[in-house]
Structure 1
Amino acid sequence: MDLNTTLAAQYGGNSNTGCVGYLPTPWLPYIQVARLSPPAGFFLIYLPHVFGVLHGAIARQAPLEETARAAAITFAGSLFVSNAIHIWNDLIDAPLDAQVERTKNRPIPRGAVSPSVALLYTFSQTIGALALLPYVAPGYSIRETSIYALPSIVGWMYHPWAKCHTNYPQAVLGFCVAWGIVIGSLAMDVELFTYDPFGHQNSAPAVDFAAVFLFLACILWTMIYDITLGIYAHQDLQDDQKAEIKSIAVLYRDKTWVLLLDMSGLLTVYGIVGGMTLSYYVLSVGGSIVTLSLIVARAELRSSESCWWWFGNGFWYAGGAITAGLLAEYAQVFL
């Protein structure tokens, strides 16, 4: 099996290598449909929560114990959310996936998991995520926490249809993933926005503008990773055109590199507004610039093998750089 075929199976929802290969064969389709191996999909969901937790920890100069608690509870919640949204997406996308070479052998299109079982599987993971919701932000009522979670829930439910309605389904995905920053910040008792329509607290509406810029940067980071703005999406370009699937790659063809440059600018503005120090700019901003420059310079958008390599590695570079910069900034609380 050549590298291209191996990577396509690994990241296309058909992985049966590594630890997964030791599991009983009947279990494999359920691991695959939830994208549990490799866990890149899970970390795509979890890392924005980490960004939010660290943003809140820096803003409040929170003790390590509180930050660790927030990171742990969002880790558990992200696992259930990741499982639910991947299964739901595959369930709705099954007819389209059957028309695309990279996805036609996913568990639902190939018949290894029936639609009814996939729906029950989705519900079970959703219930798990909702059960953890009261523990995410102990300082808030379940009603308040649910209101904060609602936009991402609606977004995740709609996302599978976005590619049929707009040329920017990656932006919808980016919004849903980046909402983890809102939840992560909330877990640290820091709200992205505050508004009390009933006047209980007699406070004016307020917005955490630093977090807004981090949120926008995370949207682009997600787009760069998952459909990778002309990298991952270029793998499916011909199939997407035949199936009339909308995406940024279909719309912009070879001009998608332009959006790759915006993320570093947003991270820089976040640092300025948030009062970050040199360590943040070197690690988060500098690391992202290096990562994006490498992707723009090295990725061959019409080479599937090159696309797969950058799809699997570019995510860790940029996400790791942002995390490292925020961690370095937070570490200064204890110095």
Structure 2
Amino acid sequence: MQGNAPTPDGQVSDAPQDNWVDLYAPAWSRPYLRLSRADRPIGTWLLLIPCWWGLALAIFDDQTPRLFDLWIAVGCGLGAFLMRGAGCTWNDITDRDFDGQVERTRSRPIPSGQVSVKQALFWMILQALLGLAILLTFNRAAIALGVLSLLPVAVYPYAKRFTWWPQVFLGLAFNWGALLAWTAHSGSLGAPAVLLYLAGIAWTLFYDTIYAHQDTEDDALIGVKSTARLFGTDTARWMKYFLVATVSFMGLAVIEAGLPDASLFAMLVALAGPWAMGWHMAWQLRGLDIEDNAKLLQLFRVNRDTGFIPLIFFCAALLA
């Protein structure tokens, strides 16, 4: 590993050099925004995109768009930013001792001394309360789901201590928005939302295994578990399984949502989404090199585009 020492201004080592936090945010706010990963927005996108999948598929299911759906889309965007920030802050609080021993993460705000644990706790609570204010604008079923989502969020940072599959727990947390946004539109949970949720979990296993390969050496030294360490040189084969699961569950979700009311053309347009997403994931596999950290980070980040692909087709199907 190389080049991961903290920069003089406190920039986190794996943040893009031209990120807005380090360029434009007031100096006093930067440690807190870094705790929230605002300097690395890819995580917010990966949390938000399943929300928009769920909303689009819920409209596709009942063929009844409403003006409130615009607020659901915007509210999910704001909520994803806030709750991803709160979750990352919680993760950094629980992992502060581990982060100090891993080269890529020792520049994070807590191990590098930019903020104290008490300050981080206050920041986490503030973000969570703002997220709650947005959640309370949705219907009761969606509110209940939102509160329940705190369970996988709370457990995830500890998962790497007791299982080789912490990425499953990340998937449970990061794709909860598919259930919530569907329910915010429809008023109740449906089978297509659950299938979409399973597709998202498989996708998370795909992209976060790529991400975790950056830390396998340090993780082995400190005893942290991950699918990257579990799969090792067999990673590509496992990634193919996750690709197939993602496409299959998402395809089933589309079929379940579209029958019997959607037209054949609209159904075909919507089904093209998981198909195209699968091709994009296959493209990532062709470029996978588990020994090249720069390439691993690049592939992880392109998953924002991967997630947008089916969303584009779902939205097009609504107009078909």
Same topology, TM > 0.5? yes
Equivalences for 1:178-327 in 2 at 5 Å?
178-192=175-189, 208-225=190-207, 227=208, 229=209, 231-257=210-236, 258=238, 259-261=241-243, 262-275=245-258, 277-282=267-272, 284-313=273-302, 315-327=303-315
Asked if the contact 1:74/1:136 (under 8 Å) is kept, the reply is: no
Residues 15/26 of structure 1: CA separation in 2 closer, same or farther (3 Å cut): farther
Tell me the TM-score normalized by structure 2.
Answer: 0.88
Asked if the contact 1:56/1:190 (under 8 Å) is kept, the reply is: no
Cα distance, 1:318 vs. partner?
Answer: 1.6
Q: Does 1:155 align with 2:152?
A: yes
Query: Match of 1:86?
Result: 88
Query: Match of 2:42?
Result: 40
Cα distance, 1:307 vs. partner?
Answer: 0.6
- Per-residue CA distance 1:50-75 (angstroms, 9 max, x = gap): 11111211112123523212112222
- Per-residue CA distance 1:47-104 (angstroms, 9 max, x = gap): 1111111121111212352321211222222222111111111111111111111111
Asked if the contact 1:14/1:107 (under 8 Å) is kept, the reply is: no
Equivalences for 1:56-71 in 2 at 5 Å?
56-63=58-65, 65-71=67-73
Q: Does 1:164 align with 2:143?
A: no
Residues 27/16 of structure 1: CA separation in 2 closer, same or farther (3 Å cut): farther
**Cα distance in structure 1, aligned partners of 2:211 and 2:62:** 38
Query: Match of 1:173?
Result: 170
Runs of 4+ with deviation above 6 angstroms: 8-11
Asked if the contact 2:58/2:186 (under 8 Å) is kept, the reply is: yes
Residue identity over aligned pairs, in percent, reads 27
**Cα distance in structure 1, aligned partners of 2:187 and 2:58:** 6
Asked if the contact 1:15/1:32 (under 8 Å) is kept, the reply is: no
- Per-residue CA distance 1:247-276 (angstroms, 9 max, x = gap): 111111122332332211222222332336
Cα distance, 1:14 vs. partner?
Answer: 4.8
Asked if the contact 1:267/1:285 (under 8 Å) is kept, the reply is: yes
Query: Match of 2:120?
Result: 118
**Cα distance in structure 2, aligned partners of 1:157 and 1:33:** 16
Tell me the TM-score normalized by structure 1.
Answer: 0.84
Residues 303/174 of structure 1: CA separation in 2 closer, same or farther (3 Å cut): same
Residues 183/12 of structure 1: CA separation in 2 closer, same or farther (3 Å cut): farther
Q: Which amino acid is the alignment partner of residue 232 of structure 1?
A: Y
Cα distance, 1:303 vs. partner?
Answer: 0.9
Q: Which amino acid is the alignment partner of residue 267 of structure 1?
A: M
**Cα distance in structure 2, aligned partners of 1:88 and 1:291:** 32
Equivalences for 1:108-147 in 2 at 5 Å?
108-137=110-139, 140=140, 144-147=141-144
